[in-house]
Every structure is written in structure tokens, then in C-alpha cells.
Structure 1
Amino acid sequence: MFQALPYEGNRSEQFVAVLEQLKALIHDEPSSIANLANASALLNSFLPDINWVGFYLYDGQELVLGPFQGLPACIRIPLNRGVCGTAAGERRTIVVDDVHEFPGHIACDAASNSEIVVPLIKNGELFGVLDIDSPLKGRFDHEERQFLEQFAAIISKSL
């Protein structure tokens, strides 16, 4: 059973605590969908100032909406289109301080102003992306990027 914990200490210590919670949540669970659902719920409860967090899964042709927390979202995203499609196509993390300045941005929620997308790679293959939106411009910094890349790596191992 999951126990909500107060996140104490400095930010780095809090990130470590969340990564440990993630490992405990997905330990021995074979269902990718269940693991992704719990992972999105964990991030939604931990990260302040976000309005959407979830996963898009690669079906061999495009990204398809997976487990998430937030308002209903775009269902399909072509590779190399928008922030999610670009991160998936280039297989690299993309941080956008102002989504309105990102060429080809796909606006699923008008309240979103910044975004981070981290690819999920397993055995060298694209599985999907972790996508997080915020109503604040410049919401995601380098330290949080590193944390979310570690988070995505743990998730990728469970897939």
C-alpha cells in the first residue's frame, strides 16, 4: 500500500525520496499501464505548479495517449511534431520555457506555458515519452530535468 510522505529536506533529498517511492510502486508489477498510471499520479502529487503529467506511448508510427493526470489531452501525436513528437523523434529531453514560441507546438491545454518531455527508451528502442506541462513560464530547471530523466530511466526498466 502506498503511503503519502511529507517531502522533507532540500530539493535533492526530495527527488531521491520520490525516486525511491517510484521503485517501490513498480517493484514486481508486470503491467506497464499500471506502472505508468502510478508514476503519473506520483509526479502529480509531488510536483508543484504543473497542470498535466503523463505518458504518450509509441505504437510504431506515432505517439498515443497513455496514463496521465490532468485535463483530457490530444490522443495522437506524430513523430517530430510538437514538443512530444520532437523529443520522441530526436530521442532526447526537451525543455521549453515558453511553449508559445516553440515551432509547431500542439496546444492541448490553453493554460500550459512551459513543458518538459523526456523520452522513454528501453533496449535502444523508443517506448514513449513522459510529458509534463506547467501554467508557469520557465517552470523546469536543470536539476529537475536531471531528476525527471532518472525517473524516466527507472520507468523504462520496468516496461
Structure 2
Amino acid sequence: MIMLEVITYPNPLLRQISKPVEVFDEELHDLLDEMYDVMIAKNGVGISAIQVAKPIRALLICIPDEEGNQHKENLLEVINPEIIEKNGEIIFSEGCLSVPEFYEDIKRANTIKITYQDRFGKSQEIVATDYLAVAFQHEIDHLNGVLFIDKLSIVKRKKFEKGLKQKHKF
């Protein structure tokens, strides 16, 4: 099986707004399974479908335990998420599979309540705090064509763009 490819910034696909999932079928399940494999292979904590060039509102999050290990039983498969409540503030160092080797502190809500559907289309609700809340907000941003670098101050954003140009010079 060919592994899905993670697209990276500045690929314009990353700016696309993902479409709601309407069909919860085998094809969706296969995609979720493949996204999981890619996320684990790339040491990601979360991944959204758009990052593998599929513009649908689907994402995965698997927060590591204290030892840094990810367990499949902790995997959240999130389809058509909606943030219905946001509280508090947290600053967290974020990275992104689509923006490799770049980490920066980003301010987000510390606690959020989300409604979503699972892989079978069943409605779910979760209250996420801290790391999980950050991961949710980061991945949901992807579904809306937003990258964490968009949240940087102008100075930090310029530094990022400069670093990116240098990395891509041969």
C-alpha cells in the first residue's frame, strides 16, 4: 500500500476550505486508517484530511501519554467538528506536519467544547482542555484553510518566511 503524502506549505491546497463529510462509508474508513498510519509515521499528534490532499472535514488526534507513546485506543477520529464553546487562554509551542521543522508559541483557548461525528456518523461531544484543546483548534483551523503560522506576529511571520526561503535555496 502506498502511504499518503503530506502536503507542505506553501501548497495552495492547504488554503482550501474543506467540505463537510456526508457519506460515512468504507472509503472514509480507509482514508481515516491511512491518515492514522501517516500521522504515526511522521510523529504527528494530529492530522487533518486536507494535509493529505483530501479536502474533507475529517481529522485525527492522538495525544501521547506521559512517556510520549501514542496508543490507538486514545485515537480520536473527528468528522465535521464544530467548536461550540471556548474558554480561557493557553500559550503552547506548536508545530505542524505541513510546516516541517518549525515551532512557535501560539495563543489559543484553553478549554473548548466540540460536537462532531465519529467514523460511523454518530454524533459525539467532547470537552477538551490544554494539549488536547490546542490540538483540536490547530486541526480544525486546517479544515478552514488556516495554518498556525497565520497566528504569528508580523515579526515572527517574517522570520518564518525568511527561514523558509533559506531552506529552499539550493
Answer yes or no: same fold by TM over 0.5. no
Point out the structure with max Rg over C-alpha.
Answer: 2
